[in-house]
């Protein structure tokens, strides 16, 4: 079985429910760019696929950056003078500014307020804030909670550690017929954010699991990394191997009801850019293709000028373009099973195009070959019993000159790639096509 066969046997409803269920398992974990929350996330992933884990020590130089100290947190709260928790990390892990240094003090509301963060425009949502590279602390709360805080003396406690340790990442490698690789990357460092984080993780895991069960031309490398510093570290640790990456996707924000969005690689017309564009164009759904810009997720590291890898970013609603982004409203109700399934199927479609996009040579190139005697053409009355599109046959024969790939043919003819692949297979069986040696 290959990827194309896999697409025909999948049950989208079942896969959507599985993806949402896995995201639900991961949701309560307090993740960060380092620490035990990230490791626990990798442990959950290992229930589905085997991972090779890497631990990179604090202080390691990774290009212009340095691996930071490791952060772990056990508890955090703000108590009023009655001993009641008015802000409680155990109720929602977004309540603490991620990477907050430890603190245990009693202070007035006036002294506390500079350390409190809310969203006046969304008074019932908790914002997500971080302080990765500055030693400070803080709490996030709903704006309504903030307005309700009376003058009082408050006990403030963040039971965390920020010490020398490691940055952790996980990798799953699937060898194929060739060493050329397809890279699939997702950041696995955000706490309870379902769309921005968990949707990408879930889809990457299930893609890896599905690909492990089929024949593969390319080798596949799935990496689960902390955002920004993780891709920088991975590239630094694997600089001598990145030449094998021929195609790549960064996955994020794939479970919301927005239209599918693809941000092209820096190259702009890489094969992966064309493959995603083709799949979305033939999806019969509204979609958005945007050009590369050096802002967003880890594609900006893979596409930095020193690497310029063919890696794009596949999303639904882009980061920062939906109100729920980096707030408690990006929860398990915000992501939908059918949207996760739709994103999964489209990703699988892109990988199918990449897997099967080969160049062929017409073995009978002088004028059209006689298709009827090979059972490839209609017999009488304009009807065909072959199930093959005749115009697609003619396009494939005409452009199979050792210069055009199947994707080239699909783009020029307007046919879906799967149709061109189907007729190419039939032409190979009748010895009219042969794979190019180049």
Place of tokens 């202070």: 107
DSSP characters for 282-342?
TTTS-EEEE---S-SSTHHHHTSTTT---EEEEESSPTTSSTTTTBTTSSTTTS-HHHHHH
Torsion over CA: 104, 106, 111, 114 (sign): positive
Task: Give 327's strand partners.
Answer: 127
CA end-to-end distance (rounded Å), the chain: 26
To the question of whether residue 196 is assigned a binding role by annotation, the answer is yes
| DSSP code of residue 383 | B
DSSP characters for 205-244?
HHHHHHHTTS--SSEEEEEEE-TTHHHHHHHHHTTTTGGG
Between the CA of residue 318 and those of 110, 234, 263, 370, what are the distances in Å? 37, 24, 9, 50
To the question of whether residue 287 is assigned a binding role by annotation, the answer is no
What's the order of all strands across the beta sheet hosting 153-163? Answer: 85-88, 70-79, 153-163, 103-108
* Residue 113, both tokens: 């307020």
- CA 17 and chain centroid, separation: 18
Q: Which residues are annotated as a binding site for Zn(2+)?
A: 190, 196, 326
Q: Residues annotated in the binding site, as ranges?
A: 190, 196, 326
């Amino acid at each position: 079985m290959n990827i194309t066969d896999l697409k025909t046997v999948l049950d989208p409803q079942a896969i959507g429910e599985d993806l949402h269920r896995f995201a639900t398992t991961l949701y309560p974990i307090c993740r960060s760019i380092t620490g035990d929350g990230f490791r626990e996330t990798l442990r959950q992933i290992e229930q589905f696929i085997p991972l090779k884990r890497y631990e990179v020590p604090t202080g390691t130089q990774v290009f212009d950056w340095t691996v930071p100290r490791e952060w772990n947190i056990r508890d955090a709260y703000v108590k009023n003078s009655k001993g009641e928790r008015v802000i409680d990390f155990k109720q929602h892990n977004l309540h603490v500014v991620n990477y907050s240094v430890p603190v245990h003090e009693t202070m007035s509301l006036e002294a506390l307020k500079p350390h409190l963060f809310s969203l006046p425009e969304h008074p019932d949502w908790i914002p997500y804030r971080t302080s990765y590279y500055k030693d400070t602390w803080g709490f996030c709360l709903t704006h309504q909670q903030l307005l309700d805080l009376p003058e009082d003396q408050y006990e403030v406690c963040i039971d965390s550690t920020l010490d020398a340790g490691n940055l952790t990442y996980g990798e799953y490698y699937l060898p194929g017929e060739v060493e050329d690789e397809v890279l699939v990357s997702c950041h696995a460092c955000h706490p309870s954010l379902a769309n921005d984080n968990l949707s990408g993780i879930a889809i990457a895991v299930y893609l890896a699991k599905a690909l492990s069960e089929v024949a593969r031309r390319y080798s596949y490398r799935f990496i689960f990394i902390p955002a920004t510093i993780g891709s920088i570290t991975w590239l630094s640790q694997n600089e001598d191997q990145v030449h094998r990456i021929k195609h790549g996707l960064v996955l994020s924000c794939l479970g919301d009801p927005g239209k599918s969005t693809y941000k092209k690689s820096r190259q702009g017309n890489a094969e992966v850019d064309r493959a995603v564009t083709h799949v979305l164009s033939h999806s019969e759904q509204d979609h958005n293709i945007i050009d590369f810009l050096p802002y967003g997720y880890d594609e900006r590291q893979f596409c930095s000028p020193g690497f310029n890898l063919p890696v794009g970013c596949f999303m639904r609603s882009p980061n920062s373009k939906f109100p729920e982004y980096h707030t408690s409203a990006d929860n398990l109700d915000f992501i939908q099973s059918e949207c996760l399934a739709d994103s999964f199927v489209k990703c699988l479609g892109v990988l199918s195009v990449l897997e099967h996009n080969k160049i062929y040579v017409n073995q009978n190139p002088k004028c059209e070959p006689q298709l009827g005697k090979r059972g490839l053409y209609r017999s009488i009355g304009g009807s065909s019993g072959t199930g093959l599109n005749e115009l697609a046959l003619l396009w494939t024969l005409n452009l199979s000159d050792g210069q055009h790939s199947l994707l080239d043919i699909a783009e020029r003819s307007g046919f879906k790639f799967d149709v061109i692949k189907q007729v190419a297979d039939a032409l190979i069986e009748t010895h009219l096509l042969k794979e190019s040696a180049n």
